[in-house]
Amino acid sequence: MPPAGYSPVHVEQDDVFTDEPRDSSFVRPPTYYEEGPFDPPSSDDEEDAFLEKNTSVNTDMEGDGGLVVGGTKKRPSSLRCLVISLGSLVATAAIIGMFAAFSYTGTSYRVRGTKHITMDHIFNGTFRAQSQTVRWVPEAGDGVFATTIDGHITLVDLKTNSTRNLVSMGDIKDEHGNIIGWGSWELSSDMELMLIKADYVKQWRHSSFGNYYIHNLTSHQTYPLITPSYPPTTVIANWSPTGQSVAFVTSSDLYVLSSPSASATPIRVTSTGNSSLFNGITDWVYEEEVFSSPTALWWSPDSAKLAFLSFDETTVDEFTFPVYNPSDDSYAVVPYPDHVTMKYPKPGYNNPLVSIHIFEMDRYLTSVNSTANANMTEIAEHATLELDWNGRQPANNSVIAEVAWVGDAALLVKEVNRAADNGSVILFDLHQGASNHGEVIRILGKNGEQGDEGWIDSAQNILPLTSDLSSDGIPAYLDIVPTKEGYNHIALFRPASNHTPQFLTEGKWEVTDTILAVDPRRNLIYFRAANPSSTERHIYSVPLPTGNSYESAKPSALTDNASPGYYDANFSPKAGFYLLNYQGPSVPWQKVIQTEKPDFNYVLTDNTNLNNTIAEFETPIITYSTIDSDGYELNVREIRPPRMDDSGKTKYPVLFQVYGGPFSQQVDLKFNLDWHHYIACSLKYIVVTVDGRGTGFKGRKLRNPVKDNLGHWETRDQINAAKIWAAKEYVDPKRIGIWGWSYGGFMSSKVVEADAGVHSLAMAVAPVTSWRLYDSIYTERYMNLPQVNPSGYVTASISNVTAFNKVDFLLAHGSGDDNVHYANSAHMLDMFTAQKIRNFRFRMFTDSDHSIGRRGAYRELYEFLTQFLIEKWGKGARQRGW
């Protein structure tokens, strides 16, 4: 929310930007932001001096009461009174400031102590807010959650205010009697058995291998799901919603254990799994860009059927990167480095081919029980359906974006094309004897629900309504769908075959994330929204229609939306309770609240110690505002040094922090004290963040312009913002820089390439430098295929490096980055060599992935950035001479 009296600033439009079609033969773009040298007056041009701690100014009174600067006259006694009065005013202002520190009206004034923030404070957890997770246990009833107390998993019942131990961790032992070290667990629906994952071995961002065990809570017997292996080969294992069946994937094949016991033999559902064929688990690109999970299997509500995806990566090209040192010892010498080879589809190349299957477990068991000397493999094949539908995208142009059961025999599949501008939602009726052929019930994209030139968002938001919430038990569901005005809102589809969304929320604000919960008894839907401002998050409820007619109802806020805030919530299974997480702008806290009794407050964390700690430190002032860039209102956050002089006498360097990726958000009200706060307090820099075109939660009209043209309008917005700050009286326009990580590193590099003459410094960490080098699903969603948009791929990448000679540039990348490959930085370094670009600093962090954390690299990266800033800009502001 903009502070009072802060109005958007208009920026003159540059005529070098046009909407003329791009020439497909275009190879290297011109420096398309060049408008001649940008050379505003600087404090350096007026013989400014660095501020010194011991600098003082004598102020004497003239005979007529006027001030003499640098004079030698004696102060009259009346001046002593003036000094005392001024001292009183300062003390009063300090007290008022302390009270203001606890309020928020667009500017976050934090309590200022006397201690100075150091890098150690940032990285040793001094300012880390403590938080706890609430693990709701639906099997034990609504309002029951699990926690760990004295070596036990303990169930806390909020309704009865009682606790009981579920299991002692010491009881869970392997076949040799050794206590199992485990990291995750899940209960069967009858609470008799516990499924445990041990021997964790990380794979990609969201996936890992492990050995699974089943523990009987009554007999205290523990046995492996399958024979343990080292290294383990099982990726996921899930209980069925009812009964005691377990579906799991090991060595890329799907199995089902229908009745767990130490001697039970699992059903082998698939037998095609290998290093290029995956059943029930995602490949790398689907895990990273579609599902944010390795799971690609879904039980039907009655546990009779199991939907799963199969991925064929046979024709997907491989990418290999070296592992120079597999150990944690930085001094280890490894004569022959290892390597990682992965299937990594890039724009325009082959994607994995995905098929959708249903294993009908009820049909399988019936066949087995009625057939003598049954061939289990053949029966499993006959009990497995492959789904199809009219109008399906060609296999090499298909992305399966979502799979969701909306009834015991009703399945929804959401498919989009690679360019994410055309898609459909398909409904399958899978009752006994029904066809495996689906019906298209919704059209997505330009000619469908989106209805514009943007993309179809990648999200899994479908929430089925239970039979007691749908008319006559007919399947129905909720989804988050863009309105005609381009804002994401909750829509009801009842029955599930309905083609037309019935919007339950509306307005120039957006529902975020997934729908949080549905209260079946009170007919309420709970959700989180960027409302009343896009930088906030509040929790709301809206009625679920009970009849065929419905009048739009205003959402009811569960949080105080009259005060700026950022909240999240985790509801119990029947929505009788929820964990409310206050995440900013002040110090976070957590409470468990009963929906029908808001006075019920179970305080989980209050971070009292963090509040006390922050009170001891000198912390920055944070302001929120908006600017106008070519008619688009953009959110801005400015982190200012403590006691900043904004009179114009003192000139401060400004470092822009940028990410800017599609549907991302950096400017929000979440609490944070990180490296940016350190450089504001200790280096006396101003840090500015601007969410430009393409970013999220302000509607599709702000997001859509970047489609097929990544890096163009976002770069313009960053340059427009930098020009606005360069013109401010308190800014040193000779010291304006920009830095970012990942997409932010790409943005920093694009700003330099633009050669607008505003920035004197840029830092890029793990940047994309050519979208031909990134993965296909993410890139093509926003850029289409290179064969369709060839010139767009040139202008959207770093293609002209001549301007890098004009700035101080830092580049850093991890050599083991499996996401944005080190090849991106290698490509840019090659261009630097060709153009004789030499005034840059580069560092490769050996074996670090995209997060740059291997062998102490994370802290070292920020030391590297800090030293570079100090070397190029120095510490502190500069002051005009009198």
Catalytic site positions = 742, 817, 850
One-letter amino acid at 502 equals Q
Whole-angstrom Cα distance, residue 180 to residue 168?
12
Query: What does the angle CA 820 – CA 824 – CA 830 come to, to the nearest 5 degrees?
Result: 165
Q: Do 700 and 454 form a contact (C-beta atoms < 8 A)?
A: yes
Q: Distance between CA 254 and CA 236 in Å, rounded? A: 10
Copy the structure tokens of residue 562. Answer: 């009259």
DSSP 236-277: EEEE-SSTT-EEEEETTEEEEESS--TT---EE-----SSSE
Q: Cα angle at 197 between 196 and 198, to 5 degrees?
A: 115
d(CA 646, CA 317): 55
The residue written with tokens 């302001």 in the block is 623
Residues whose CB falls within 8 Å of the CB of residue 711, separated by 6 or more in sequence, listed in order:
746, 747, 750, 795, 796, 797
Tokens of 140: 């034990």
User: Any idea what the Cα angle at residue 82 is, between residues 76 and 86, rounded to 5°?
Assistant: 150
Helix (H, G, I), strand (E, B) or coil at 797: coil
Tokens of 354: 């995905």
- Residue 258 to residue 96: CA distance in whole angstroms: 68
Angle between helices 857-873 and 675-682 (to 10 degrees): 30
Question: 719-731 burial by CB neighbour count: b if 16+ within 10 A, else e?
Answer: bbbbbbbbebebb
Which among 416, 342, 319, 283 has a CA at the least distance from the CA of 772?
Answer: 319
Phi, psi of 596 (to 5 degrees): -90, -10
Nearest partner of 616 among 116, 123, 118, judged by Cα: 116
Per the structure block, which two tokens stand in for 583?
Answer: 């995440």
> What phi and psi, each to the nearest 5 degrees, are found at residue 50?
-65, 145
Q: In what order do the strands lie in the sheet with 577-584?
A: 566-571, 577-584, 589-594, 597-605
Residue of 791, 856, 814, 684 whose CA lies nearest to 28 = 791
Contacts of 653 (CB under 8 A, 6+ apart): 685, 686, 732, 735, 736, 737, 873, 877
Here the tokens at position 733 are 């326009």
Q: How far apart are CA 463 and CA 341, in angstroms?
A: 37
Residues in the chain: 882
Question: Which H, E and C letters describe 339-401, residue by residue?
Answer: EEEEECCCCCCCCCEEEEEEEEHHHHHHHHHHCCCCCHHHHHHHCEEECEECCCCCHHHEEEE
- Residue 847 contacts residue 815 (beta carbons within 8 Å): yes
Using CA atoms, how far apart are residues 704 and 709, in angstroms rounded to an integer?
10
DSSP 8-state code for residue 364: H
CA–chain centroid gap for 521, Å, is 33
CA–CA dist 446, 453 (Å, integer): 6
Residues 300, 243 contacting (CB under 8 angstroms): no
Tokens representing 382 are 């006959």
Radius of gyration of the chain (CA): 30
* Listed residue (812, 815, 870, 866) closest to 841, CA to CA: 812
Question: Which position has the token pair 């919530």?
Answer: 569
**Distance (Å, whole) CA 167 – CA 182:** 13
Name the DSSP class of 287: I
